[in-house]
Structure 1
Amino acid sequence: MRQTLSNPPSGKKTIKQRFLKLLPCCRSDSTSPIIQNSVDDDFELSTVCYRPEGLDKLMQVTKFDKRELQILYRSFKSECPSGAVDEETFKLIYSQFFPQGDSSNYAHFLFEAFDKQKNGAVSFDDFVTSLSIILRGSVTDRLSWAFNLYDLNKDGCITKEEMTSIIKSIYDMMGTYTYPCIRDDAPKEHVESFFQKMDMNKDGVVTMEEFLASCQKDENIMQSMHLFENIL
């Protein structure tokens, strides 16, 4: 499973890489606008307007500085002029990243994870708060975010049904362009393997405590649990 999902079609960038083209301040390469102090960047930043209290609050709750938040906001507004994105628009944007498969179900789960207010829209605040965790959070922060993604009904535990839904949505999204070819029983096998390693007390569900403990003590599980970074 890990080999399949971590090897996208040849010549293709990961979803994270393509998604972050909208987020230039998060790139680590030498062309990042955060590293370049060009006159053009400074001019563009001067045109971005904030309510000071909003910017200050985001600086406190995220790991982004003022300049990064300004660049992120400018990029977000260019894609979402209304200041928020609804689920259907989110799915449409996401489908462009995986034209060879059906990304609608995974995009739905991801949208739910980003929609902190549960009002059917992802605001800039929602977006940067999750992005900060995904890109700059501690290992525990990232794993907790992943757990929340998998815990579909938010009851504090992951069931086999929930994990099956997530895994199947990832396979559907990858489509037919995976190597090696996906077997029909692959999602079920992945879920069984997940529960064998994670469900420590064998009660049929995985709690946050079991999830974190299993991931943090097993290098292979840690690598597997970071797969979501390649599809965001």
Structure 2
Amino acid sequence: MGGVIGKEKKDFKVLTLENLKFLENNTNYTKEYLLECHKNFIEDCPSGLLDKKTYIKYYEEMYPDGNAKKFCNQVFEKFDIDKNGKIDFVEYILAMSVLSQDGLSNKLKIAFQMYDTDRNGYIDKKEMERIIVAVFELVGETVKKNNLNAKKLVEDLFAKLDTDNDGLISEEEFVQGSLNDPCLSNIIDQNEIESTYL
């Protein structure tokens, strides 16, 4: 879908009336806000497309002591709806709209989707470990340097969240377990998703 609401759309720099109406109808953003966002997006991405290399570079500047590649690869894939290797303005706004939703429960659902990299509706231990290591590396924390043990952290999280002990965490288990754990819900509630993923 991203940017190609009508089949004839080829110039990603142009925000068509059709795409503007689509975004107004599918987000909580006003026409004026969308036009301002589009102007800023085009200033940053003159072609009208954000590629993965530029996305990674942006995060490398934000986290100069970290390694942004693993993290950005996982997040970029979630935003690239049409899987063309680039994020256009429509995809960007849809992602921004989803990530800026109010309510801890909504934020937890979004976090679950970020962890569920194979999109099978469950988080397994490998997926959990991959994202934890990617976040550690993003902020420049190495597992060895700070005695952070990703496998132990994963085991602890699964002990708390995997209520049916099947080795997988469903969205319901993730949301309910996080809501019931003040430490986990506090991390999510402090706008971690918006500031980290966008």
Q: Does residue 63 of structure 2 align to residue 98 of structure 1?
A: yes
Is 1:70 the counterpart of 2:30 in the alignment? Answer: no
Aligned partners of 1:156, 1:49: CA distance in 2, in Å? 36
**What's the RMSD between the two structures over aligned residues?**
2.2
Residue 222 (structure 1) aligned to one of 178, 185, 191: 185
Match of 1:211 in 2: 174
1:188 to 140, 144, 151: 151
Q: What is the rounded CA distance, in whole Å, between the counterparts of 2:187 and 2:163 in structure 1? A: 18
Q: Counterparts in 2 of 1:127-146, with a 5 A limit?
A: 127-146=92-111
Alignment of 1:158-197 (within 5 A): 158-176=123-141, 183-197=146-160
Offset of 1:197 from its aligned partner?
A: 1.3
- Larger relative contact order (C-alpha < 8 A, sep ≥ 6)? 1
Cα distance between partner residues in 2 of 1:167 and 1:85: 25
Contact 2:104-2:188 at 8 Å conserved across structures: no
> 1:53-68 to 2 correspondence within 5 Å?
53-68=18-33
Classify 1:230/1:55 alpha carbon distance in 2 versus 1 (closer, same or farther; 3 Å).
closer
Of 116, 123, 135 in structure 2, the residue corresponding to residue 151 of structure 1 is 116
Divergent runs of 4+, >4 A: none
Moved more, 203-212 or 130-139: 130-139
1:63 and 1:136 in contact (8 A); partners too: no
How many residue pairs were aligned?
Answer: 182
CA contact (8 A) 2:104 2:185 kept: no
Counterparts of 2:141 and 2:195, CA distance in 1:
18
Q: What runs of 5+ residues in structure 2 fail to find an aligned partner?
A: 1-12
User: Distance between the aligned counterparts of 2:25 and 2:131, measured in 1?
Assistant: 32
**Which residue of 72, 80, 96 maps to 1:107?**
72
Q: Which amino acid aligns with 1:55?
A: L
Deviation string 1:90-136 (CA, Å, 9 cap, x unpaired) is 11122111111111110111101211222211111111111112123
Report the Cα offset of residue 49 of structure 1.
6.4
Alpha-carbon distance change, 64 to 115 in structure 1, aligned in 2, over 3 angstroms:
same
CA 1:49–1:231 in structure 2 vs 1: closer, same or farther (change >3 Å)? closer
Query: Alpha-carbon deviation of 1:175?
Result: 1.1
C-alpha displacement at 1:62, in angstroms? 1.0
